[in-house]
Chains A and B, each alone.
Chain A
């Protein structure tokens, strides 16, 4: 499987360029959308909390920054789960015409996710520097947590991709689930400490990843290292299983949805 990924790198590169170029060509603000979306989301939520629409929470770092980092991490996660399905769906018809290495699609989608995540983390760094905050040494380790977040997103994406290509219900359902998942993840609030709300820390795999990423970025000490290691290990294993699943399912999918 690894050899197939290496063999498809040239095609993956071409497809990546294609995707990056055509994505924002029909828009005035172009690549700025990558920057605008999280800033707007942070602005709205910050405004709502200032108006006491939801109970404002105590955080050791300024709440705006806390929110901004959390939203960036959450967007990295949703990007990672959406991209593989999106790529497979875009090339659905081409897959039914030409027998090109399908690994290029997964590889290309992964590269696009990595680039976007890189932009988002740079943005966070830029904002921190701009605000004159001291950058914690642990910031250097943050990419580890980001990679785990990307990995988890890919696992969800790869496992859902076969079903999602067959049935439109999956996309609609996932849009719904993602709203709940967002609320269930400590993005706008700190991880709950009291039972039963604290149960979310144990059952939601995104929680330790988002929490750890944020703690590494701000250097506030690690509180969920154990769960983080467990989830990361599971991600590595299931990532392999997910790729295998897509590999086995693709010929059947092509037959059904690309005619």
Chain B
């Protein structure tokens, strides 16, 4: 890895399967291989599989900005998921120095039965922020989200009206 690069992606490939039943079966198969310690072969593709990412390479240094453009299903989110370490590449590698704060589909961790404030603490904890840090930031967060009058209402009530 280049000493100045913060994000380094080399020959990254990731395959997916659109057929749910097959995908679940492959998942079970892969778990079995993982447990018995046999390394799975990324190639060839199994029936129903396709490459969501194929041979992606790039590197980003401090100060760089990279925009990803593509049609639905082009693999943008998949790349972000690999970069945030949520899923592992089938081939190649992605290395990231520093911390990643992925903003993929905000609010997926929100509970409709918690207040805005409670949800802020939970989601901050999921992103690795301690309660003490959030205590110092909570007013700023509430202002930014423009929920200052409703932050103690249930999330369900906030989003519905």
Contact = CB atoms under 8 A, between A and B. Distances in A.
Interface stretch (B55-63, B108-116, B137-145): B108-116
A98 interface: yes
A98 B102 contact: yes
A97 B104 contact: yes
B27 A252 contact: yes
Contact of B81 (A18, A94, A96): A96
Contacts, number: 92
Contacts of A94: 108-109, 126
Nearest to B21: A167
Interface stretch (B2-10, B42-50, B64-72, B127-135): B127-135
A26 interface: yes
B126 A98 contact: yes
Contacts of A18: 111, 114, 118, 122
Contacts of A14: 121-122, 125-126, 131
Interface residues of B, number: 34
B35 A255 contact: no
Interface in A208-259: 245, 248-249, 251-257
Nearest to B109: A94
A44 interface: no
Interface of B: 23-24, 26-28, 30-31, 34-35, 81, 84-88, 100, 102, 104-105, 108-109, 111, 113-114, 118, 121-122, 125-128, 130-131, 154
16 contacts: A11-B125, A14-B126, A21-B113, A91-B109, A93-B109, A97-B84, A97-B86, A98-B109, A98-B126, A100-B128, A163-B28, A166-B27, A245-B35, A248-B31, A249-B34, A251-B88
